[in-house]
Every structure is written in structure tokens, then in C-alpha cells.
Amino acid sequence: MTSVKIRKVGNSSVLTVPQSILPANVTEFLVYAGEDGKIVYTPIKNNPFNDAELMATLDLKQTEEFEGVGEVGLERNE
């Protein structure tokens, strides 16, 4: 386990991330105060549904699961 200290830089407090725990290709984190004074940093991951190039390659049409099954109860809205 590595220990780090909070230091002041301008009006901000800074925690240095040791190279041994720095995730690859991650530059942004969500941060929140956890239980018992913990400071929790969570990497921000890209939402694949916001990627237009990826979405253009996917077929997201829903296929009918119950094809051929007739109405059984109160499904009909008349």
C-alpha cells in the first residue's frame, strides 16, 4: 500500500496518483466522499451508445419473441 499526502496548488488540494496504480488510458475520474472519510475515484468510461460510428454497425431492431402465439388474455386494447 502506498501513502500519499494532500498538497495545496493554488486554491485546490491535490492527491498524486502513484504510477503503480495509475490505470492505462484513463485521464478522467468521478470523485466522491465515501464512508469514514474515504475519497473514492472512479474512472469515467465512454458510453458506447454515444458512439455514432459503433451504433451505425449494430442492428438494434427487436425481434418478436412470441411470434405465432395468439392473444391469451387482456392484451387487446380496444
Say how many domains are in the chain.
1
For residue 55, being part of any structural domain is answered with yes
35 part of a folded domain: yes
Cross-strand partners of 30: 42
Q: Does residue 77 sit within a domain?
A: no
Residue 53 counted as domain residue: yes
Provide the domain limits for residue 46: 21-61
Asked whether residue 51 is domain-assigned, the answer is yes
pLDDT by 10s per residue, the chain, length 78: 788 899 999 999 999 888 888 777 888 899 999 999 999 999 888 888 888 888 889 887 777 777 777 666 666 665
> Between the CA of residue 42 and those of 8, 33, 36, 61, what are the distances in Å?
22, 11, 17, 33
Whether residue 9 lies inside any domain: the answer is no
Instruction: Give the distance between the most distant pair of CA atoms in the chain.
Output: 69
Global pTM reads 0.51
Residue 6 lies in a domain: no
For residue 13, the Cα-to-chain-centroid distance in whole angstroms is: 25
